[in-house]
Amino acid sequence: MTAAVLAAALVLSDPVKAQEATGYWSLSVGRMTDNEWGEVAEQPGSISWRDAQLSGVALSREWGLGRWGFVGVEGQLLKHFGEQDHIEVSVPVFYRTPRTDQVFIPSLAYGLGLSYATEPPVSEIERTGESTELLAHWFLEMEFGARASDWRPYIRLHHRSHAWETFDARTGSNAVLFGVRAAF
């Protein structure tokens, strides 16, 4: 599905208005939840927080699709602490809606890729009874800030999962991340 959306965006883009690639760096902090991803997205007041925090850095590259938004790739390095102590590396490709000139109208993004943890995450084992280092990763994100903003804050739902049993362990986890992004 994601590949079809990205392919359609590329085919339908206006090459005259397409932009050069832009690089970004970002910093984020967050906390793991006990909830399923749908509960986090649809009922944020009912989030059950775990004693598991994370902080990270990311580098990303976006290619403009004119009025259709952006496609990109990101490399993210996260340090987990609290009830678990490991490093996570995730590498998703993503689609982002166009940014506007209004600070409070968010640009939305969806990314899909892989996540590698240096050890099976404790929070996943406690939630489901099993885990593994390599899982699928996706995110949903709202980024704020006008098109010309130097700094853009964002909130992200960070998800690891077995992707309908594509991976060995039937497990998954969710975190809510708050971050800031800037172009370089």
The pLDDT value given to residue 9 = 47
Domains and CATH numbers, the chain: 2-183 (2.40.160.20)
Q: How much is the pLDDT for 15?
A: 44
pLDDT on residue 11? 44
Q: Give me the sign of the Cα torsion angle 71, 74, 80, 85.
A: positive
Dihedral (CA of 76, 4, 100, 178) sign: negative
Q: Is the pLDDT of residue 129 over 80?
A: yes
CA distance 10 to 132: 35
Task: Look up the pTM and report it.
Answer: 0.86
Which two tokens mark 157? 């739902």
At 74 the pLDDT is 98
pLDDT tens figures, 7-29: 444 444 444 445 689 999 999 99
What does the pLDDT read at residue 62?
97
Which of the residue ranges 9-23, 110-124, 160-174 has the most confident prediction, judged by mean pLDDT? 110-124
pLDDT on residue 2: 53
CB atoms within 10 A of CB 138: 20
